[in-house]
């Protein structure tokens, strides 16, 4: 079994920064909206790519940080979110 060591107190001393790795339990409402079963044993691990004041998304499916498009060559064009739910049909 793989394990990840997570600090529960880091953000008591400082705010999250771009590039940090965050681990959290999804709120029940978010899990339900995504069709997931909320489970206290499930932990989501995400990288912080931007902070609220610096990020913007657009209808072209890209993320912009401080006005510059984030380079994400690992995302296939058909997997980008264009905000129209066309993939959900």
Residue 22 pLDDT > 80? yes
Structural contact between residues 43 and 24, judged by C-beta atoms closer than 8 angstroms? yes
Averaged pLDDT for residues 2-28? 84
Residue 10 pLDDT > 60? yes
Instruction: Give 89's pLDDT tier (boundaries 50, 70, 90).
Output: very low
Residue 78 Rama label (left phi>0; alpha psi -120 to 50; beta)? alpha
Residue 57 Rama label (left phi>0; alpha psi -120 to 50; beta)? beta
25-74 pLDDT, tens digit per residue, is: 777 777 777 777 655 567 788 888 888 777 776 778 888 888 888 888 88
Closest Cα partner for 82 from 59, 65, 64? Answer: 59
The pLDDT of residue 35: 74
**If DSSP codes are grouped into helix, strand and coil, which group holds residue 78?**
helix
Residue 85 pLDDT > 60? no
The pLDDT of residue 13: 93
């Amino acid at each position: 079994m793989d394990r990840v060591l997570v600090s529960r107190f880091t953000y008591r001393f400082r705010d999250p920064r771009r590039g940090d790795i965050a681990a959290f339990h999804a709120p029940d409402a978010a899990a339900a909206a995504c069709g997931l079963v909320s489970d206290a044993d499930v932990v989501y691990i995400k990288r912080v790519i931007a902070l609220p004041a610096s990020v913007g998304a657009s209808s072209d499916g890209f993320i912009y940080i401080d006005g510059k498009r984030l380079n994400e060559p690992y995302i296939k064009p058909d997997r980008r979110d264009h905000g129209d739910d066309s993939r959900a049909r």
